A and B are shown apart, each in its own frame.
Chain A
Amino acid sequence: MQSLRVNGYDMAYLDIGKGPPLVCVHGSLCDFRNWSPVLGPLTTRHRVISVSLRHFFPDHWNGSGHTYSLAQHIEDVIAFIARLDVGAVDLMGHSRGGHVCFRVAQRRPDLLSKLILAEPGGEIDATLDPDYTHAPWPMAGPISAAADAIAKGDVDGGLEIFLTALQVPWKRLPATTRQLLRDNATTLIGDARDERIPFSKSDAESIKVPTLFIGGANTRGLLPKVLHALAAHVPNSRTEMIAAATHAMFEQAPQTYSRIVLDFLEG
């Protein structure tokens, strides 16, 4: 694959199409293949650059070392965009990758033209959530148990623990989806050690880049709550919800998703 040297790591990426550059950042347990279903429509008008964050496939990471974290991935994406050396880019992130992109936009708005956050992951603090209590994160236990299983070599068992906690039925997922999760399973070992910083109202208000939030109308739980809380406070933002879709909305509705993104980028 093509790669750029960022912060001492060869960061792999897929680069397709001609036009204004759109850098795409996958979420947990995913990699550059995340965006496959929208590559066709998006590359009709954009140069799509789909990265794999540090330690995700095509890396076959063994889970050791302390070089996997949100903070590291934010640094890496900033360095990656700078190394691309094409001026300001559009930036799109899904789930945990949306969190990474949000932080990039906070820190380095000079690198970005527009920002797309597809159900960004993370928590919201008391300034955004009246129900907020400083309680332990409910996923911490399952992620830790999943990481332990994966570190011992029980990859499928670990993934099942993690997904069950998210109310996703591992055994009913398509075989291709399960395999992509397996290819990135060791990153859960990194997630179990990582420190998460919730979004605040002042974080949201500080985003100066024109921003599109995209969600699936049928996604349940914390993700839509975070999306709407951020969207209410990011100054120059709009929100599009895709009917009958959930968190993997670009897989479920690739044509609708692509049209929304293309319209926003050209608007």
Chain B
Amino acid sequence: MQTRRVNGYDMAYLALGEGRPLVCVHGTLGDFRTFAAVLGPLSRQHRVIAVSLRHFFPAHWDGTGDDYKIAQHVADVIAFIEQVEPRPVDLMGHSRGGHIAFRIAQARPDLLSKLVLAEPGGELDATLEAPSSVEPASRAARILASVEKIRAGDLDGALKNFYEGIEGEGRWARLPAVAKQQLRDNVFTLLGQVGEDRKPYSRQDAHSIRTPTLFIGGTKTTGSLAVVLRALSAEVPGAQLAMIEAAGHWMFDQAPQAYSKAVIDFLAA
């Protein structure tokens, strides 16, 4: 694959299409293939650059070392964008990748033209969250339980546990084998996620975003992802919100045309 050297690491990426660069950042257990279903529509208008964050496939990481951190991935994507021409670029992130994109918009708005956050991951602090609206410990507990299973060699059990924490009990069995395999290719990144040091979002964080921002969600997504989406989209100045009907957290897989249209319309406006 093509790679760019960022902070001592060869970061792999897929780039296709012509037009203004749109850098895409996958979420937990994803990689550059995460956005495969929307590459066709998006690459008609844009140069789509889908990265694989440090330690995700095509790396075959064993989970060792201490450089799997939110801050490291933020620094890596910043260093990556600094090498993209022309700048500023549009930036899109899904889930944990949405968290990373949000932090980049806070730290380096000069690099960005527009920002697309598809159900960004993370927690809300007391300035954004009504008390006990969600159970903040559940995600951490889920990941810890998955890590236990990985260490015991039960990779599919670890993935099932994580996936059903987001999409609901019983959903793993209905996930196509293709999607399962892509998660499996990145399963060891869950080991890094325990100590990734993710900070909650604050009202001040949201207010500080100056980049025009589109939030995208799936109407079927429940739990903290839906709560975070509503809270941030209400507080980021001038933000738009597009909800994809009958879709869950992987809304670009479930509704690639509706998702692409929302993104293309926002970027063209």
A252 and B177 contacting across the interface, CB-CB below 8 Å: yes
List, in ascending order, chain B residues with CB within 8 A of A60's CB.
Answer: 43-44
User: Taking CB as reference atom, which chain B residue is nearest A252?
Assistant: B177
Given the complex, which residues of A lie within 8 Å of B41, measured CB to CB? 179
Interface positions, chain B 29-64, Cβ under 8 Å from A, are 33, 36-41, 43-44, 57-58, 60
How far is B177's CA from A254's CA once the two chains are assembled, in angstroms? 7
A199 within 8 A of B: no
Pair B17/A58 contact, Cβ less than 8 Å: yes
1/0 per position for A46-66, CB-CB distance to B under 8 A?
Answer: 000000000001101000000
Q: Is the CB of A57 within 8 A of B40?
A: yes
B14 — nearest CB in chain A belongs to which residue? A1
Chain A residues lying within 8 Å of B16, measured Cβ to Cβ, are 1, 12, 58
Whether B178 and A175, one on each chain, are in contact in the complex, defined by CB atoms closer than 8 angstroms, is: no
Give the interface residue-count category, chain B. Answer: 20 to 34
B14 and A175 form a contact (CB under 8 A): no
Q: A76-128: which residues lie under 8 A (CB-CB) from chain B?
A: none
B255 at the interface (CB under 8 A from A): yes
Tell me whether B37 and A175 are in contact (CB under 8 A).
Answer: yes
- Mark out the residues of chain B between 242 and 269 whose CB falls within 8 Å of any chain A CB in the assembled complex: 253-257
Q: How far is the CB of A40 from chain B (nearest CB, A)?
A: 3
User: How near does chain B come to A170, taking the closest CB pair, in angstroms?
Assistant: 14
Q: What residue of chain B has the Cβ atom nearest to residue A255's Cβ?
A: B181
- Contact between chains at B43 and A58 (CB < 8 Å): yes
User: Is A176 engaged at the interface, CB distance under 8 Å to the other chain?
Assistant: yes
Q: Which residue of B lies closest to A17 (CB)?
A: B58
Interface pair B58/A43, CB less than 8 Å apart: yes
In the bound complex, CA of A43 to CA of B1 (Å): 12
Q: Which segment, of A31-39, A132-140, A187-195, A218-226, faces chain B?
A: A31-39
Number of A-B pairs, beta carbon distance below 8 Å = 80
Q: Determine whether the beta carbon of B57 is less than 8 Å from that of A37.
A: no
**Cross-chain contact B33 with A183 (CB below 8 angstroms):** no
A176→B37 contact, CB < 8 A: yes
Give the docked Cα–Cα distance between A43 and B186 (Å).
13
Q: Are A40 and B176 in contact (CB under 8 A)?
A: no
CB-based contact A1/B176 at 8 Å: no
Verify A40–B185 contact, CB threshold 8 A: yes
Q: Is B184 an interface residue (CB 8 A)?
A: yes
- When distances are taken between beta carbons in the complex, the residues of chain A under 8 Å from B182 are 36-37, 40
Residues in A whose Cβ lies below 8 Å from that of B178: 36-37, 176, 251, 254
Q: Chain A, 245-264, contact with B by CB distance < 8 Å: what is the 0/1 string?
A: 00000011111000000000
Question: A residues 1-54 with Cβ under 8 Å of B?
Answer: 1-2, 12, 14-17, 33, 36-41, 43-44
Alpha-carbon distance A57/B60, docked complex (angstroms): 27
For the complex, is A217 an interface residue (Cβ under 8 Å from B)?
Answer: no
CB within 8 Å for A36 and B14 given contacts A16-B58, A180-B40: no
In the A-B complex, list the 6 residue pairs whose CB atoms are closest, starting with the nearest.
A40-B185, A183-B40, A58-B16, A179-B256, A176-B37, A254-B181
- Beyond A39-B58, A175-B37, A180-B37, list 16 extra A-B contacts (CB 8 Å): A2-B2, A14-B1, A14-B14, A37-B182, A40-B184, A43-B58, A44-B60, A58-B16, A58-B39, A175-B253, A175-B254, A176-B176, A176-B178, A179-B256, A252-B177, A253-B177
